[in-house]
Structure 1
């Protein structure tokens, strides 16, 4: 069990540490980041319950529904809700890059507990594949969500446009990820380029968020 717990949580913590250490200005309090990670982990239970109800009571057979609504929209909305209502107004969220940290944190909390349950059910031999695909993809969905939330919070114009994108863009990406898994027999042929694109996009958002933070810090110094 210790091996499963370690293998289940290690990829999430490693990815969170990577994005956390990319914060080149005021690093976020570890307690606040951990609390956000814990919130994300707790989301597994209500999401699993709602998905179970949708599957057993309504019995939707559509691959599009299962990928984009049951998985993509539901999971990303609840993560977005936590970010917006529990983190967005927090005093520690004081520069654009912080959105990346908290977005990755809530997503990786969710992905880590989900990963532990999966490994308990199906075995430790799936640990590497889970780390490379579901855990990494959740981290990147969170990074992209956090980038637009951070941009929205510190933008003087079009605030709600950025907040809308912070929800819509991860839903589309998450839905696409699940749709590939559900509908493609040789899904690795599409998943491999999709994950390359997702990493490219996520790291690009990290770079842009750091640039936004640099400009924000400079403007504060000369205010």
Structure 2
């Protein structure tokens, strides 16, 4: 039970942080719950299916840098972010409650944290407290930054004539940051290169904070207050 709490705690902290940052019109709690659950189950199922398809088609050498680049960006990054994207795009973005650009960040984070919670439970139950603590400060915040960057553009897309372009821009940015983060971890056989993952994470966090502030400042709901 304690391990389970360790696995879920960082997810809850991030959810609360984003919920409190939604200053002008809180989202329906039931809708947030659904997005979390869809991320935790539907996105995981989609990811698993896509992984199986990739594994059937191609086998990648773990000691080949170029093949690990393909794995990081085109297998893991694309698969996981796409599985989250379709929930935000075809479920959350269609709701009337999605009524300001910041909501793109809120719903993307909820879906992503559902995904991260399920993933983290497996990792932590297998690896124990050390893995729980490590992932609380690395993988879980990383998933959040990918979601915020995606959600920033998906929030813009809802109220733009260039909806498709902005939605895909958000997906692409999440894939790029997810791929970069994983790539440096996948090639850990190169001494010291893992530092690149933390650099990628820090840059993602900075951009995420800027994205949150930008949507807060530019919200049309703020201007009505």
Q: Does 1:167 align with 2:166?
A: no
| Cα distance, 1:48 vs structure 2 | 2.5
| Cα distance, 1:46 vs structure 2 | 3.1
| Cα distance, 1:211 vs structure 2 | 1.9
Deviation string, structure 1 residues 161-202 (Cα, Å, up to 9, x no partner): 211211111011111111111124324422222221111001
Contact 2:154–2:170 (CA under 8 A) maintained in structure 1:
yes
Q: Does 1:38 align with 2:37?
A: yes
Q: 1:124 maps to which residue?
A: 129
Contact 1:83–1:103 (CA under 8 A) maintained in structure 2:
yes
Q: 1:196 maps to which residue?
A: 202
Q: 2:211 maps to which residue?
A: 205
Match of 2:145 among 115, 140, 145: 140
Q: 1:29 maps to which residue?
A: 28
Q: 1:99 maps to which residue?
A: 104
Q: 1:10 maps to which residue?
A: 9
Partner Cα distance (1:193, 1:175) in 2: 13
Contact 1:83–1:106 (CA under 8 A) maintained in structure 2:
yes
| Cα distance, 1:57 vs structure 2 | 5.1
Partner Cα distance (2:89, 2:222) in 1: 22
Unaligned regions of 5+ residues in structure 1, if any? none
Partner Cα distance (1:189, 1:145) in 2: 24
Deviation string, structure 1 residues 70-96 (Cα, Å, up to 9, x no partner): 111111111111100011111111111
Partner Cα distance (2:35, 2:9) in 1: 17
Unaligned regions of 5+ residues in structure 2, if any? 62-66
Deviation string, structure 1 residues 23-54 (Cα, Å, up to 9, x no partner): 11011111111110111001223312431442
Q: 1:19 maps to which residue?
A: 18
Q: 1:60 maps to which residue?
A: 60
Contact 1:152–1:159 (CA under 8 A) maintained in structure 2:
yes
Q: 2:155 maps to which residue?
A: 150
Contact 2:23–2:216 (CA under 8 A) maintained in structure 1:
yes
Q: 2:86 maps to which residue?
A: 81
Q: Normalised by the size of structure 1, how large is the TM-score?
A: 0.91
